Amino acid sequence: MDPNNPQGTGSGDVPTPIIKRRSWSDYLIWLLPALVAVIGLSLLIHGWLSRGPSIDITFQTADGLDTNKTQVKYKNVVIGTASNIRLSPDRDHVVVTVDLNDDAAKFATKGSRFWVVRPRIGAGGVSGVGTLFSGSFIAADVGNTQIQQTHFKGLETPPSVLHGVPGKQFVLHADDLGSLDIGSPIYYRRIQVGHVASYELDPDGRHVSLRVFIDSPNDKYVTGDTRFWNASGFDVALGSDGLKVQTQSLTSILAGGIAFGQPMRRVQPPAADENASFQLFGDQATAMAPPDGEPMYVHFDFPHPLRGLKTGADVEFLGIHVGKVVNLGLNYDAGKHTFPQLVGAVIYPQRLGKAYEQLQQAVGKHGAEPAMSEIFSRMIEHGLRAQAKSGNLLTGQLYITIDFVPHATPVAFDKNRQPLDIPTAPGGLDHLQDEVGEIVAKVNKMPFQQIGEHLNDSLAGLSTMLKNVNADTLPQLNKTLASAQQTMGTANNAFASDSPLQQGLGGSLHQLQRAAESLRSLTDYLGRYPQALLRGRPADPAYKATPAARSSETPRSQP
């Protein structure tokens, strides 16, 4: 081999390749990508294995929701994330796709509920304040079934009752909602024991149904005879013991409320079943009143219009409230060519209490309207009539009273007519109008013109007399007064303190006083010596000096 040509290449020969073996350290550089690939694959497999079901939730708007940021929480624990937000094909709502965690697969069942938590102010207070800082999130409530479901309709407002909360729900029926709202409190003996869960109109649109929730263990106090009433605001009653104002709480005044209670019973009835229905009364007095029983529709035919009578006016029987006016209209009397006032009313005979039972026993029939028609027939024979009376003189409101009228004119009554037509009689207002008419007629008959003429003549004579008095009588009267004044002046001068008459009168009185003293001395002496009237006054005895007196009168000797 040529030392100058170490590769052994010649001008015409191919070079011989030199083969070198790589060491195992050269392969270490591929270990890092392989390790990363294994870790990524394991994470992918772990994520796929730990991934729960995906569900779609529809909302009216996506306000506050963000893809891959908005979380789904249950009891403030994250159970999923919103992975996609899109419009529905009809563009009426938004569809939020939520990837649930593996341990939250039970939320993909029928009955689960989802809603967006935002700051809200309602009857139950302020909620969702924390979302002002952390952002809105989707809250969840798990269903009670095991049926799988992936499409849900989200709630626009949070549910008032969550699944699993101990208690019972009941249904209340009312004429209107009033000031009640979702979350309005429910009180029992002034303690809040529940709240209004939801409300809706009945299918006929005439009433409102409210679903209320009573917490356990207070739900046991709701029995079959429980009465519910609207406790919103406050009740004002003016009675013989003064003014009374009642309210459940300040919350019920602001946000409305419902209260319930039971009539006094010796034996406590069992608790009511869940979803039992009750009537919601307007106030406590109406709720606690005895049952009204079967209603009865009657007619009153008044011969003249009743201006102050309105729908809802009271109907009373002997002072007891038995019903209310429900319809007002006009009737036409072809014979008299008049338009009587037709009044329809609903009455509850059972409000008469024991008297109603006694009337039924007296008639000997049992039932609703047939028995009442016979009862009304007998009472109408004894003068039962309906009258319109004034309930308030300031507002002019009227009410209907059914009472016995003395010497009432007999009328024909059809017992088979439905509804019953109760005869009427003029009321107190009618008598008042008649009396006012009679007074006006008498006033119109008074001869005001002649009275005025006589009054003018009398005033003319009085004026003439006053002129004569001024011309003749007053001068004479002035002279008489002057003479009287002069006489009074003379009398004052005569009785003055320095007048001679006053001084002479003083001396005479002094002499008279001395004479009286002398006479008193004489009478005293005669009282002591009555014989002096016959013998005269005896001489005074001689003076005799006593020895002591003489010794005391002897002058002392001079030394």
**What are 85-132's pLDDT values in tens digits?**
999 999 899 999 999 888 888 888 998 999 998 877 665 556 666 666
- My answer on whether 103 and 230 are in the same domain is no
pLDDT averaged over every residue in the chain: 79
Percent share of the chain, pLDDT over 70: 77
Residue-level pLDDT at 553: 46
- 519 within some domain: no
- 139 within some domain: yes
- My answer on whether 179 and 209 are in the same domain is yes
- My answer on whether 322 and 420 are in the same domain is yes
Question: Of 335-349, 358-372, 485-499, which range is least confident?
Answer: 358-372
Is pLDDT above 50 for 469?
yes
- Cα 245 to chain centroid distance, Å, stands at 8
Residue-level pLDDT at 239: 47
For residues 28 and 466, the model is more confident at: 466
Is pLDDT above 50 for 240?
no
- Are 138 and 93 within 8 A, CB to CB? no
Domain stop point among 415, 439, 463: 439
Is pLDDT above 70 for 170?
yes
Is pLDDT above 60 for 373?
yes
Region 47-71 average pLDDT:
85
Q: Which residue has the tokens 């004026």?
A: 463
Residue-level pLDDT at 222: 94
Confidence of residue 559 (pLDDT cuts 50, 70, 90): very low
- 396 within some domain: yes
Region 426-434 average pLDDT:
63
Is pLDDT above 90 for 56?
yes
- My answer on whether 148 and 199 are in the same domain is no
- My answer on whether 220 and 122 are in the same domain is no
Confidence of residue 49 (pLDDT cuts 50, 70, 90): low
Residue-level pLDDT at 23: 62
| Strand residues in 470-547 grouped as ranges (E) | none
Range of the domain at 202: 167-288
- 450 within some domain: no
- Cα 523 to chain centroid distance, Å, stands at 97
- 496 within some domain: no
Is pLDDT above 80 for 50?
no
Confidence of residue 477 (pLDDT cuts 50, 70, 90): confident
Please give the tally of structural domains in the chain.
Answer: 3
Region 199-227 average pLDDT:
92
Residue-level pLDDT at 558: 42
Region 176-186 average pLDDT:
87
What is the C-alpha separation between 71 and 59, in angstroms, rounded?
15
Confidence of residue 429 (pLDDT cuts 50, 70, 90): low
- 331 within some domain: yes
**144: three-class secondary structure by DSSP:** coil
Residue-level pLDDT at 218: 93
Residue-level pLDDT at 114: 94
| 344-368: b (≥16 Cβ within 10 Å) or e | ebbbbbbbbeeebeebbeebeeeee
Is pLDDT above 70 for 531?
yes
- My answer on whether 88 and 136 are in the same domain is yes
Report pLDDT digits (tens) over 505-518: 777 888 888 888 88
Give the count of alpha carbons within 13 A of 87, CB side only. Answer: 4
- Are 284 and 371 within 8 A, CB to CB? no
Integer angstrom CA distances of residue 72 from 82, 160, 222, 327, 509:
7, 19, 37, 56, 130
Residue-level pLDDT at 47: 65
Residue-level pLDDT at 428: 59
Region 523-544 average pLDDT:
69
Domain stop point among 388, 418, 439: 439
Domain stop point among 124, 153, 182: 153
Is pLDDT above 50 for 268?
yes
Residue-level pLDDT at 168: 93
- 409 within some domain: yes
Is pLDDT above 50 for 79?
yes
Does the global pTM surpass 0.75?
A: no
Give the DSSP letter of residue 340.
Answer: P
- Are 102 and 31 within 8 A, CB to CB? no
For residues 394 and 24, the model is more confident at: 394
- 538 within some domain: no
- My answer on whether 195 and 176 are in the same domain is yes
CA dihedral 499, 500, 502, 508 (to 10 degrees): 170
What is the C-alpha separation between 98 and 80, in angstroms, rounded?
6
- My answer on whether 116 and 188 are in the same domain is no
- My answer on whether 145 and 94 are in the same domain is yes
Is pLDDT above 90 for 458?
no
Among the listed residues 424, 462, 216, 251, the one whose alpha carbon sits nearest the alpha carbon of residue 340:
424
- My answer on whether 70 and 189 are in the same domain is no
Residue-level pLDDT at 557: 44
- My answer on whether 147 and 192 are in the same domain is no
Confidence of residue 60 (pLDDT cuts 50, 70, 90): very high
Report pLDDT digits (tens) over 290-344: 777 788 899 998 888 788 888 888 999 888 888 999 999 888 888 888 888 899 9
Is pLDDT above 70 for 1?
no
Question: Of 38-52, 57-71, 305-319, which range is least confident?
Answer: 38-52
Residue-level pLDDT at 552: 47
- My answer on whether 247 and 349 are in the same domain is no
